[in-house]
Chain A
Amino acid sequence: DAGITQSPRHKVTETGTPVTLRCHQTENHRYMYWYRQDPGHGLRLIHYSYGVKDTDKGEVSDGYSVSRSKTEDFLLTLESATSSQTSVYFCAISYQGGNQPQHFGDGTRLSIL
């Protein structure tokens, strides 16, 4: 299995609080991705990174920011969490981008009350 660790695995927080999710990889892959998974929607891309300090938006980026200061870490931040951001969040990595498959972490279940 690809070395991907997501933390925390579960989190419950209140509306309006900031939340940071961490994705750590040991594979030295260039590309890292954050997705959210919601019933009936599959996985939707939030943000992705194609190198240290190089990030871009996905299809559902509003309300989220990311940072990548090291190859191995990709952080997802909800500046002021809302109930609509309750979801399961997955990190994925890829060696070379779209012509190579992604490898996924085990997910973070986030509940915002």
Chain B
Amino acid sequence: AQSVTQLGSHVSVSEGALVLLRCNYSSSVPPYLFWYVQYPNQGLQLLLKYTSAATLVKGINGFEAEFKKSETSFHLTKPSAHMSDAAEYFCAVSEKINFNKFYFGSGTKLNVKP
């Protein structure tokens, strides 16, 4: 089974600073990759997805992620944090061989300081 590792359960940045949230996956075959955001008491919303097209993927709200096969990584970045970015972020993968199943990381809570 896949495993998804998100380094850092909590990340704190100042407003206007770079946001970097890390995600590594375990599969030797590059999977489909997703980032989701969850605001308090809500379900998850899709930020962006990678499905074998361009390795740099742009999403909503100014976020982007870069797929690096050699590092088995799919880190999420945003050049300038906004207070409204404070939320929990989840990386998820599904395997190309059995793509019925999704595997989620344990999540990273982003705090944005004024």
Contact = CB atoms under 8 A, between A and B. Distances in A.
Interface in B1-59: 1, 4, 6, 9, 31-32, 34, 36, 41-46, 49, 51
**Taking chain A's interface residues, is the majority helix, strand, or loop, or is none over half, making it mixed?**
strand
Instruction: Report the interface size class on chain A.
Output: 20 to 34
Instruction: Report the interface size class on chain B.
Output: 20 to 34
B43 A107 contact: yes
B107 A50 contact: no
A97 B106 contact: no
Contacts of B45: 104
Contact of B43 (A31, A56, A99, A106): A106
Contacts of B102: 33, 45, 98, 102
B90 interface: yes
Given A43-B104, A98-B32, A106-B43, 9 more contacts: A31-B100, A42-B104, A43-B92, A44-B104, A97-B94, A98-B98, A102-B34, A102-B46, A105-B43
Interface of B: 1, 4, 6, 9, 31-32, 34, 36, 41-46, 49, 51, 90, 92, 94-96, 98-107
Interface of A: 4, 31, 33, 35, 40-45, 48, 50, 56, 58-59, 90, 92, 97-99, 101-107
